[in-house]
Structure 1
């Protein structure tokens, strides 16, 4: 009797550790098609996530390529959101011989998917999908902070958050930030100014304007009333004042509806259908 042959274990495929442009391009292309970095790096033929991020960190050109791939991934997520939001195929549960039921589980799951994708898009691609107010306030200087820039004539610069032409925030630790302040101070000094403001005042952006006040505009009284009409109108007003409690909050429409109902029932024996239903 022959003993069974023992086969050696299969060698695991070795992940690439040395940078290669071909592999880097494959990862970026797969991200563009909608795969996340973690999903891609779980492929045994791809570098680990730590290795890939180390490749990105060592080269500015790779950082730019990776950033573009990640932005394309966010656009893919936007397409997914549209597909999820427009898919109503499972919104109702069909029941034989009974009315359809709303499939709340399906709807809630779709809402969760959309909210999750929106969160990822805002965090990973804030320039395009982030909240405008959040972008303006993140890493921004204190609203209206001041500093003294002095040459022959000291200039007080009032600094608000500064934005580039594409709407992105100029951070305080960037060379563009200091250059913009010095430029504003030089121009103000050349014009003989002691104070200058630079940046965007966020008070008008973040705080909404107060709601407009709606004032009551009563209709003008008619001027062609006869003395008899004025006398009747006076009697009606006095009747209302004597009858309705002084602390009543009834609107004029309610009061005149009651008067009209009483007049119709007394003189025409007609009862308004809506009021009759309310009384019943």
Structure 2
């Protein structure tokens, strides 16, 4: 068989049969140009007039010149030789399609299951390696949340007495789902009532601070306590003349005597 008669094989297991594509210089030029521009081979192979990846590999084995040109085109397009599995480099057309499908309400998991799209692990890798793509995915999730939230109106409008409970379950799940996709807009905000509204008196906790200082009169070390004033918030020294414990407050631990019991108070 002549070289020009090598045909593009059809991969086993394909659900749809394809007409084999024969090699030609014009087809080679088109394929290499698109690969060099950054398009992915598995995307190009979806078109009926383009060869399958198996056919391209067969052509590369049979034609050394085509093999060299193919390697160069893949390097120019960001997919060097030896790269296996799903593509790791970000492809703008594929990223745009992921964003559009996400905005239409499709999940990243279902997009990753599509054999014509990058796997879910590749999408997560793109989000990790390309901040702009990650920001685009976050915007898509917010738009998707809005689309799902709009669907709640239809669920409520179509509810009947027989389906009321089922509708309630679906709406509850929908509220949770959109809250995880766009928490700033749709998350459930818990507002705890103040303690006074619950019939319990409010409590204020005062923390005392103890320091060791030298008494300038005697030269002896003494322990001095500081405590904030609950009314003013200012920290006060407890041995300051005129200092009194705040009214309606429990006794502070530490053995501090009442003001009338201090030396020099008249008792």
Scaled by the length of structure 1, the TM-score of the pair is 0.38
Q: Which has the higher helix share?
A: 1
